[in-house]
């Protein structure tokens, strides 16, 4: 008879149904019964389901592909939970499916995690007290752990051939029945099974599934699991059981067995993983119960979907971490983006660095599928770009180099040399990056935005008609050019523009303000052809003195000509209005001849 199942000190003592029946004098079947609902634990959790003791978490990828957005989010949540609770974050390679292992995937995984800043405390490369951290190097431990289950008949060796199992399943499938195993080998005497195994006969080791799968309390989804009635259907026709394979015929463990053994051996307290694993969790919990081990707490995170609610996959988006990196996305922007996928925080702002996330993280994770909006990533990239620029240092210098390369590629060296003049390219690009209205998302995109400085503007007709005002603006614009090269900075121009006034101290402040607005408007027209961009002092610094002198002088001559033409036109229509007879026409003609 099974003892009263005591699932570790963290949980209340629980008596399974069969044991309760046994206590009432009923027969107890010799198979591992799993406590249903034993996860209704009294374990204390803070707000947002945070434990009050250090959490040991792990990221357990299989080296079968590249790290993508969903997996970096899983890694991140595990990492943040460990950091927030001052625990440890482990990396474990689940490489027991040797056929699916891709050469080079392991190294790419390390590179991507390190790029994102998710340094592990224990794991491959650095090792640790519970290593090795590659499952293919832990085979002896899976075999050692299975012995106890075999002896207690909680697992058994199955010698059925693949053909027999295929045939069994095909017949059930044709009848529309659930698939499973008919337990042909389940009651084979242990001696016989051991002997056949010893003589090298091909076989697998199966878990003897409990009568009912346990339910458990998920930290995100609450009470969940298969529940008691879930496998009733299995008993239609000849009965079959969901006796999962733990050890395959090649001697390697399955994912389920290795995962459970390792989480136990590595003292994992919390498992944060994708909701696609939720269906396997009752099996995992049943295995813990069979071993009388304390299971970790589980937090399943919701699926990532696109705007059409379709699962995010390679087919609709390239979400490989490497592709974000190649596009110039900052690791802190991607990590910030991944953190917001399903996690609802209480901070004032969504913009958080990894350090800030470490401080504010909790397990308040939403249950519904998470819609991924790449607009949000763009926003976060711009915000983190702004942070990098204002912080200065190496990050800024790297940004400057990247933008300089993109500008040179896009515009060609001659145009860039003309813009830079006697200055150095580094300083010009730095001024561009400091212009707040030019949000940085990638070097290429930024170089695109900076075209307005490189290509001389095509000015439309100036839309200021008052010639007196135009004359004032000419004087004001020319005055700005008196600044010598050595003081040609945004600060000097800001100061000069602030002081510029054509109205005297007693003038009406409203009309002063209006006039200043017209001056800015005029200067933007003169310097950039009127296109939006950074403010005028910043624009003047970026363009440099010679270009500003050239553009403002040309603009003054264009706008003077336009004013003159307008003056001529404004007298002509008045005469034309009355020019109804030949005598008036000749008067206009002679006036025009006299003028010229
Ligand atoms: N190896 C599994 C994966 O690649 C790990 C699942 C888990 O975290 O338990 O997703």
296 in contact with ligand 1, CB cutoff 6 A:
no
Q: Tell me, yes or no, whether 306 lies in a domain.
A: yes
Write down the pTM of the prediction.
0.82
- Which of 407, 425, 454 terminates a domain? The answer is 454
* The ligand 1 atom nearest the CA atom of 255: 1
Q: Give the residue numbers spanning the domain of 118.
A: 50-129+255-391
Are residues 300 and 368 located together in one domain of the fold? yes
DSSP letters, 327-359, are TT--HHHHHHHHHTTTB----S-S---HHHHHH
- Give 46's pLDDT tier (boundaries 50, 70, 90): low
281 in contact with ligand 1, CB cutoff 6 A:
no
Question: pLDDT digits over 272-297, tens only?
Answer: 999 999 999 999 999 999 999 999 99
Beta bridge partners of 311: 305
474 in contact with ligand 1, CB cutoff 6 A:
no
Q: Tell me, yes or no, whether 508 lies in a domain.
A: yes
How far apart CA 2 and CA 18 sit, in angstroms, is 9
Q: Which two tokens stand for residue 55?
A: 């959490």
pLDDT at res. 201: 97
Are residues 381 and 336 located together in one domain of the fold? yes
Q: Are 559 and 529 in contact (CB under 8 A)?
A: no
Are residues 369 and 402 located together in one domain of the fold? no
Specify the residue with its C-alpha closest to ligand 1, atom 2.
61
380 in contact with ligand 1, CB cutoff 6 A:
no
Q: Tell me, yes or no, whether 136 lies in a domain.
A: no
CA of 189 from ligand 1 middle (Å) equals 35
Q: Is the pLDDT of residue 596 over 50?
A: no
Q: Phi, psi (5° rounding) for residue 470?
A: -60, -40
Are residues 385 and 408 located together in one domain of the fold? no
pLDDT at res. 313: 72
pLDDT at res. 395: 92
* The ligand 1 atom nearest the CA atom of 263: 9
Mean pLDDT, rounded, of the chain: 86
- Which of 372, 391, 410 terminates a domain? The answer is 391
Cα–Cα nearest to 90, from 51, 61, 53 = 61
- C-alpha to C-alpha distances, 3 to 13, 29, 78, 108, nearest whole angstrom: 11, 12, 34, 47
- Give 578's pLDDT tier (boundaries 50, 70, 90): very low
CA of 162 from ligand 1 middle (Å) equals 26
- From 94, 136, 261, mutation site for ligand 1 pocket: most ligand atoms within 8 A of C-beta: 94
- Give ∠ CA 61-62-66 in degrees, rounded to 5: 85
> Mapped to the 3 state alphabet, what secondary structure does 15-64 carry?
CCHHHHHHHCCCCCCCCCCCCCCCCCCCCCECHHHCECCCCEEEECCCCC
Q: Is 42 exposed, middle or buried (0-12, 13-18, 19+ CB in 10 A)?
A: exposed
Over residues 193-210, mean pLDDT: 97
273 in contact with ligand 1, CB cutoff 6 A:
yes
- From 58, 60, 299, mutation site for ligand 1 pocket: most ligand atoms within 8 A of C-beta: 60
62 in contact with ligand 1, CB cutoff 6 A:
yes
Over residues 581-594, mean pLDDT: 44
CA of 272 from ligand 1 middle (Å) equals 10
Specify the residue with its C-alpha closest to ligand 1, atom 3.
61
Are residues 123 and 268 located together in one domain of the fold? yes
Q: Is the pLDDT of residue 567 over 90?
A: no
* The ligand 1 atom nearest the CA atom of 273: 8
Specify the residue with its C-alpha closest to ligand 1, atom 10.
61
Are residues 319 and 414 located together in one domain of the fold? no
CATH of the domain at 88: 3.40.50.620
- Which of 404, 423, 454 terminates a domain? The answer is 454
How far apart CA 582 and CA 104 sit, in angstroms, is 92
CA of 223 from ligand 1 middle (Å) equals 21
- Give 99's pLDDT tier (boundaries 50, 70, 90): confident
- Give 592's pLDDT tier (boundaries 50, 70, 90): very low
* The ligand 1 atom nearest the CA atom of 59: 8
CA of 255 from ligand 1 middle (Å) equals 8
Are residues 288 and 301 located together in one domain of the fold? yes
Question: pLDDT digits over 371-412, tens only?
Answer: 999 999 999 999 999 999 999 999 999 999 999 999 999 999
Are residues 110 and 259 located together in one domain of the fold? yes
* The ligand 1 atom nearest the CA atom of 61: 4
How far apart CA 574 and CA 308 sit, in angstroms, is 64
Are residues 543 and 478 located together in one domain of the fold? yes
How far apart CA 524 and CA 537 sit, in angstroms, is 10
Q: Tell me, yes or no, whether 145 lies in a domain.
A: no
Cα–Cα nearest to 329, from 380, 255, 280 = 380
Would you call the peptide bond into 259 cis, given omega within 30 degrees of 0 as the criterion?
no
Are residues 429 and 519 located together in one domain of the fold? no
CA of 60 from ligand 1 middle (Å) equals 5
Q: Is the pLDDT of residue 315 over 70?
A: no
Q: Is the pLDDT of residue 15 over 50?
A: no
* The ligand 1 atom nearest the CA atom of 272: 8
Q: One of 184, 232, 233, 314 is an active-site residue; which one?
A: 314
Most trustworthy range by pLDDT among 46-50, 120-124, 228-232, 512-516: 120-124
Percent with pLDDT over 90 in the chain: 70
- Least confident range of 193-202, 324-333, 357-366, 556-565: 556-565
Is the pLDDT higher at 17 or at 298?
A: 298
Are residues 281 and 396 located together in one domain of the fold? no
- Give ∠ CA 419-422-425 in degrees, rounded to 5: 60
pLDDT at res. 47: 57
60 in contact with ligand 1, CB cutoff 6 A:
yes
Q: Tell me, yes or no, whether 139 lies in a domain.
A: no
How far apart CA 562 and CA 342 sit, in angstroms, is 59
How far apart CA 130 and CA 142 sit, in angstroms, is 14
268 in contact with ligand 1, CB cutoff 6 A:
no
pLDDT at res. 574: 45
DSSP letters, 402-465, are HHHHHHHHHH-HHHHHHHHTTS-HHHHHHHHHH-TTS--S-HHHHHHHTHHHHSPP--------
Question: In the chain, how many domains are there?
Answer: 3
Residue 291 designated active-site: no
* The ligand 1 atom nearest the CA atom of 271: 8
- From 56, 61, 279, mutation site for ligand 1 pocket: most ligand atoms within 8 A of C-beta: 61
Is the pLDDT higher at 313 or at 539?
A: 539
- Give 3's pLDDT tier (boundaries 50, 70, 90): very low
Question: pLDDT digits over 421-463, tens only?
Answer: 999 999 999 999 999 889 999 999 999 999 999 998 899 999 9
Question: pLDDT digits over 130-155, tens only?
Answer: 999 999 999 999 999 999 999 999 99
Over residues 99-116, mean pLDDT: 94
CA of 274 from ligand 1 middle (Å) equals 8
Percent with pLDDT over 70 in the chain: 85
CA of 380 from ligand 1 middle (Å) equals 28
Q: Tell me, yes or no, whether 430 lies in a domain.
A: yes
CA of 273 from ligand 1 middle (Å) equals 7
Q: Is the pLDDT of residue 235 over 70?
A: no
**With b meaning 16 or more CB within 10 Å and e meaning fewer, what string describes 12-38?**
eebebebbeebeeeeebeebbbbbbeb
Q: Tell me, yes or no, whether 283 lies in a domain.
A: yes
Are residues 118 and 260 located together in one domain of the fold? yes
277 in contact with ligand 1, CB cutoff 6 A:
yes
Specify the residue with its C-alpha closest to ligand 1, atom 4.
61
């Amino acid at each position: 008879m099974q003892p009263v199942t005591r699932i570790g000190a963290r949980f209340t003592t629980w008596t399974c149904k069969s044991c309760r029946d046994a206590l009432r004098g009923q027969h107890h079947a010799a198979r591992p019964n799993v406590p249903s609902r034993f996860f209704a634990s009294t374990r204390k959790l803070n707000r947002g389901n945070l434990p009050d003791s250090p959490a040991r978490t792990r990221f357990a990828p299989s080296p079968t592909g590249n790290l993508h957005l969903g997996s970096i989010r899983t890694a991140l949540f595990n990492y943040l939970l460990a950091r927030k609770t001052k625990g440890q974050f482990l990396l474990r390679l689940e490489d027991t499916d040797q056929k699916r292992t891709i050469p080079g995937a392991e190294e790419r995984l390390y590179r991507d995690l390190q790029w994102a800043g998710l340094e592990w405390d224990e794991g491959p490369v650095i090792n640790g007290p519970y290593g090795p951290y590659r499952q293919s190097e832990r085979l002896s431990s899976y075999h050692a752990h299975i012995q106890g289950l075999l002896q207690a008949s909680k697992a058994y060796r199955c010698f059925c051939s693949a053909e027999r199992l295929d045939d069994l399943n095909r017949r059930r499938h044709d009848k529309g029945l659930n698939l499973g195993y008919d337990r042909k080998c389940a009651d084979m005497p242990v001696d016989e099974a051991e002997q056949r195994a010893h003589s090298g006969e091909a076989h697998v080791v199966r878990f003897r599934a409990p009568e009912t799968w346990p339910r458990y309390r998920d930290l995100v989804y609450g009470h969940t699991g298969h529940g008691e009635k879930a496998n009733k259907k299995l008993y239609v026709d000849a009965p079959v059981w969901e006796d999962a394979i733990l050890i395959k015929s090649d001697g390697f463990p399955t994912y389920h067995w290795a995962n459970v053994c390792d989480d136990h051996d590595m003292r994992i307290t919390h498992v944060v993983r994708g909701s696609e694993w939720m269906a396997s969790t009752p099996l995992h919990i049943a295995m813990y119960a069979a071993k009388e081990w304390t299971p970790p707490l589980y937090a399943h995170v919701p699926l990532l979907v696109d705007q059409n609610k379709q699962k995010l996959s390679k087919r609709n988006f390239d979400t490989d971490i490497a592709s974000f990196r190649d596009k110039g996305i900052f690791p802190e922007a991607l990590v910030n983006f991944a953190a917001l996928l399903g996690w609802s925080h209480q901070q004032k702002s969504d913009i958080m660095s990894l350090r800030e996330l470490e401080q504010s993280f909790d397990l308040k994770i939403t249950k519904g599928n998470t819609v991924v909006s790449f607009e949000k990533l763009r926003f976060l990239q711009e915000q983190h770009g702004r942070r990098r620029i204002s912080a200065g240092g190496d990050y800024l210098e790297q940004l400057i180099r990247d933008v300089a390369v993109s500008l040179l590629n896009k515009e060609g060296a001659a145009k860039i040399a003309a813009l830079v003049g006697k200055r150095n390219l580094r300083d010009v690009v730095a001024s561009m990056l400091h212009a707040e209205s030019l949000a940085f998302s990638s070097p290429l995109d930024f170089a695109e935005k900076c075209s307005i400085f490189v290509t001389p503007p095509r000015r439309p007709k100036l839309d200021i008609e008052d010639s007196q005002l135009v004359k004032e603006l000419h004087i004001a614009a020319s005055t700005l050019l008196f600044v010598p090269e050595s003081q040609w900075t945004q600060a000097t121009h800001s100061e000069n523009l602030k002081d510029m006034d054509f109205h005297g101290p007693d003038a009406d402040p409203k009309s002063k303000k209006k006039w200043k607005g017209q001056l800015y408007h005029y200067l933007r027209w003169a310097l950039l052809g009127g296109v939006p961009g950074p403010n005028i002092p910043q624009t003047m610094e970026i363009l440099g003195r010679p270009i500003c002198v050239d553009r403002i002088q040309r603009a003054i001559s264009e706008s003077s000509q336009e004013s003159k033409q307008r003056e001529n036109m404004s007298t002509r229509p008045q005469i034309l209005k009355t020019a109804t007879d030949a005598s008036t026409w000749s008067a206009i003609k002679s006036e025009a001849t006299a003028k010229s």
